[in-house]
Every structure is written in structure tokens, then in C-alpha cells.
């Protein structure tokens, strides 16, 4: 994975109404087997945790800014939590905590999110570990892997994958086009945003280029910037 790919996935969540916490560390402070030279190794790290409120909407004047059905479908006025894992390299499997169904770190995440009381946490974590999703009438919590392409084995096991190409398609064909189709303009100004994300957004809204070229430009930028970073 690269920092830019993690950022790309996190901003995708943000563009779709999710409040995010990046680089969330699952500590293992009470596990003596993980102590070495006074340092306690964490269980794992989650690239991003996102939570979307039940009635989230972004409306600017007469424009309702469009979200991505691929991500938010079936939310149905519930709290929606995404535990995001970003895989930009060849290994697009879930990380070992999820592959090995290690309940303790998953319970840690569920407890931190704070939607379920202590009596529910073990069941929620068990459902997540087994099915990569838990939902009830008030909430949904999912483990989603962002990657170049899905891992077919884990896709069949129930892991939801969203590819970087699908994110680029969303930015170009859905998010960007909703401004044009509303007759408002190309896009608004976001100088406060991260510099790399602003560059990606500018590519998505370069109306002088056809849609496929814009998507390709975004994906090429992800690769080239990641190579520069080493």
C-alpha cells in the first residue's frame, strides 16, 4: 500500500459523507507476549474508519451532491460504518487479523466505534469476522478492501472490494458530472483540501478531455506519485 492510495480511499469515504479516522492503531497493551525491549507491538492498524450518519446529505443551493451507490446502497437511514483496508500492491487479501478471524482486535474496533453496548460487542465482532458485515435496524458495519482488483477467493467469502478504478469512475462520471448536469458549473474551489487530492479533483473535472481519459489520468497519477515517494 502507499500513503497516496490510503489518502485516495479515505477521501472517497469523505466525498460520500463519512467522517473518517485514518491510521487507527489497535493496541495490545495487556499482552505480555507482544512486549520486546519495553515496546508493545500493536495487534494491527486499520487504514481508515468511516462513519456516515443516517440522514447525511450535502446540498449546495439547488444542487444535491451525488454519492456513490456502490458504497452507500442499502444504508436505509442507518448509521453506516466502514472499516477500510487499502491494498495497492500485489497482495489484495484482507490483513491477517481478518484472514485468521482474530476476534480480540475486531472487538477492539467495534467497541471504539461506540454504536453497540458491551453485551453486543462479541456478537457484532463474530458476525464481522465471519461475514465481514453486521447489520441491524439501526446500523451497519462493514469491512471493505480497496485495491487495484478484487481477490476472487475473499470476494466469494463475502469481503466487499472497491477498486481504485471504481473510485476514479465515481469522481469523473458521478461526482463531477452532477455539477454540470445541474447547470451550475464545473466544480467549486477547494484550496483548503490536500494538494494531491486537489490535483486529482482537477483531473476529474477537466471537461476538455473525454471521461475515460480523465479516469486514466487519475490512475496514472496515483502510480506516478507513489513511485516518487519510493
Record the cell numbers describing residue 110, joined without a space: 467495534
Domain range list for the chain: 3-163
Q: Is the pTM of this model over 0.85?
A: yes
Distance, in Å, from the CA atom of 112 to the CA atom of 91, rounded to the nearest integer, reads 28
Q: What is the pLDDT of residue 56?
A: 96
Distance, in Å, from the CA atom of 51 to the CA atom of 113, rounded to the nearest integer, reads 9
pLDDT in tens, 70-81: 999 999 999 999
Below-70 pLDDT ranges, the chain = 1, 29-42, 176-189, 230
Distance, in Å, from the CA atom of 42 to the CA atom of 44, rounded to the nearest integer, reads 5
Record the cell numbers describing residue 105, joined without a space: 482486535
Q: What is the pLDDT of residue 28?
A: 76
Distance, in Å, from the CA atom of 175 to the CA atom of 182, rounded to the nearest integer, reads 12
Amino acid at each position: 500500500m502507499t500513503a497516496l492510495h490510503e489518502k485516495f480511499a479515505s477521501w472517497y469515504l469523505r466525498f460520500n459523507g463519512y467522517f473518517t479516522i485514518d491510521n487507527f492503531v489497535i493496541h495490545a497493551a495487556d499482552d505480555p507476549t507482544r512486549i520486546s525491549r519495553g515496546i508493545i507491538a500493536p495487534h494491527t492498524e486499520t487504514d481508515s474508519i468511516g462513519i456516515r450518519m443516517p440522514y447525511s446529505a450535502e446540498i449546495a443551493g439547488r444542487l444535491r451532491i451525488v454519492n456513490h451507490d456502490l458504497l452507500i446502497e442499502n444504508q436505509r437511514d442507518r448509521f453506516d460504518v466502514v472499516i477500510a483496508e487499502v491494498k495497492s500492491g500485489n497482495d489484495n487479501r484482507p490483513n491477517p487479523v481478518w484472514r485468521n478471524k482474530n476476534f480480540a482486535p475486531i472487538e477492539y474496533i467495534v467497541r471504539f466505534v461506540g454504536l453497540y453496548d458491551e453485551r453486543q460487542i462479541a456478537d457484532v465482532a463474530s458476525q464481522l469476522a465471519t461475514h465481514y458485515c453486521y447489520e441491524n435496524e439501526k446500523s451497519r458495519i462493514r469491512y471493505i478492501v480497496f485495491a487495484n482488483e478484487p481477490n476472487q477467493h475473499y470476494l466469494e467469502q463475502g469481503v466487499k472490494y472497491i477498486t481504485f478504478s471504481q473510485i476514479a469512475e465515481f469522481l469523473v462520471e458521478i461526482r463531477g458530472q452532477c455539477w454540470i448536469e445541474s447547470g451550475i458549473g464545473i466544480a467549486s474551489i477547494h484550496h483548503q483540501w490536500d494538494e494531491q487530492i486537489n490535483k486529482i479533483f482537477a483531473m476529474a473535472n477537466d471537461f476538455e478531455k473525454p471521461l475515460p481519459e480523465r479516469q486514466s489520468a487519475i490512475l496514472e497519477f496515483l502510480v506516478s506519485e507513489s513511485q516518487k515517494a519510493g
